[in-house]
């Protein structure tokens, strides 16, 4: 089952209303992986599927590379950081979302 980032953003009095997604920053780890990106041969969902066994976690890779606004901004030949291990990364993201939602 895909990880649900949005469940932390639901408004308590209106579960169908969500707060905006805050900016997410992912700290660098010695265990991070680095991939040479080739736009014509690979996409972030494919990388997420290979590294995390979950294609829906492509956005984690985008958050780890804030110099790019969308995947199409990533040039061929760029080194893309893939934060790892995913359980630690998801805990870090969850904490940011919980903190944001409580404001």
- CB-CB contact of 21 with 15 (8 Å): no
pLDDT at 15: 66
Each of the 103 residues of the chain gets a pLDDT tens digit; together they read 789 998 888 877 776 788 899 999 999 999 999 999 999 999 999 999 999 999 999 999 999 999 999 999 999 999 999 999 999 999 999 999 999 988 8
pTM for the structure as a whole = 0.91
- 102 sits in the region (left: phi over 0; alpha: psi -120 to 50; else beta) called alpha
């Amino acid at each position: 089952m895909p990880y649900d980032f949005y469940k932390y953003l639901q408004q308590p009095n209106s579960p169908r209303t969500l707060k905006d997604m805050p900016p997410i920053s992912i700290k660098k780890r010695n265990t991070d992986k680095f991939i040479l990106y080739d736009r014509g041969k690979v996409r972030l969902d494919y990388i997420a599927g290979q590294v995390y066994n979950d294609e829906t976690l492509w956005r984690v890779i985008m958050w780890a590379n804030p110099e790019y606004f969308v995947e199409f901004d990533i040039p061929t030949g760029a080194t893309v950081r893939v934060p790892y291990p995913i359980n630690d990364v998801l805990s870090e993201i969850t904490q940011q979302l919980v903190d944001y939602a409580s404001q």
